[in-house]
Amino acid sequence: MKGVTTNQSGELIYTDVEDVRLSDQEVLIDVYASAVNRLDLIQRKNHSSYVENPVLGVEVAGVIKDPNGHPHLNKGARVMGLVNGGGYAERVAMPADRVMKIPENLSFEQAAAIPEVFLTAYQTLYWIGELQQKEKVLVHAGGSGVGTAAIQLARQLSDAEIFVTAGTQEKLSVCKDLGADHLINYKTENFANEVHRITNKTGVNVILDFVGASYWEKNYDSMAIDGRWVLIGVLGGMTVENINLMKLMQKRIQLTGTLLTQRSDVYKSQLSKAFIERTFDLFKSGMLKPVVDTVFPIEEADASHQYMEANKNTGKIILKVK
């Protein structure tokens, strides 16, 4: 079969790769679409790979080619989900207990835009951030894949008051369409000042932070008492100079770092189940929408990575396999 790996100069090439070998816990998926994640970029750069699979890619949408004896799964069913590497390929193994059915109104390209970002957003907002009905949430990088998913979930599941930051008016406008209430252009405005002004200095209850170091003080200032701050990326640097711990105690902040990909199979399975039960009908009715920025043919995987590195996308970058 064909799949995408890294050549010696670090470029992505679509070439012949070893065929999938299934374990008992897995089913075989005929991949129609995969999607690009920041983790893939890091792995390409490091010439590393995820769980020793030389083929990149941690999520796909496709059709079950071999249910491998799992009675609740049927050959030919349209499914999506996280895989342990190998997603940028014609076929991939997916653990049977994290297979999610695709709502019939969605194409494979749309479905491939769901797993990683929606599961990450769901996990961070609800399992970690414990977002409650009508609370205030600040979503950084509102135009990113996880950002666009988080805005929709906070709107549809919690009727939250949603603050977003992004670097262009185009991205902010997409955020607004998805349900964000307060749009902050971080290039022209100080988001902490805006949060103070809008909340009358009481701050936000949950922060979804992909930025890290460069936003540290402003996030600190933006947090409400008993706020939950979830760190899932360090796009703005990983080293913070000078942290005042008194603020952490006085505001009783809960700061949690998390990365979805390294979680256990059991965790991913439980998360996939909880997520799809809660959201399937909302996708079906169009209340939740996968946000696809661009679809690249799988042969152009290298160009898709350059596109993400240039930070040009609003929503997901998809690889069309067939």
Positions that interact with a second copy (CB under 8 A): 128, 212-213, 231-234, 238-259, 262
What count of other Cβ atoms lies within 10 Å of the Cβ of residue 214? 14
Q: Closest separation between CB of residue 321 and a second copy, Å?
A: 30
The DSSP code for 90 is: S
C-alpha pair distances (Å), 155 with each of 130, 133, 158, 168, 316: 15, 10, 6, 22, 19
Nearer to a second copy, 185 or 254 (CB): 254
C-alpha pair distances (Å), 191 with each of 71, 198, 212, 284: 51, 10, 14, 35
Nearer to a second copy, 50 or 283 (CB): 50
Counted residue by residue, the chain has a size of 322
Q: Closest separation between CB of residue 252 and a second copy, Å?
A: 5
Q: Closest separation between CB of residue 74 and a second copy, Å?
A: 35
Nearer to a second copy, 22 or 248 (CB): 248
Nearer to a second copy, 118 or 229 (CB): 229
Q: Which residue type sits at 274?
A: A
Q: Closest separation between CB of residue 225 and a second copy, Å?
A: 9
Q: Closest separation between CB of residue 284 and a second copy, Å?
A: 32
40's tokens: 């893939």
Q: Which residue type sits at 162?
A: I
Nearer to a second copy, 34 or 219 (CB): 219
Pairwise CA distance, residues 316 & 293, whole Å: 5
Nearer to a second copy, 48 or 256 (CB): 256
Residue with tokens 């083929």: 55
Q: Closest separation between CB of residue 270 and a second copy, Å?
A: 14
Comparing CA positions, the residue from 42, 49, 78 lying closest to residue 61 is: 78
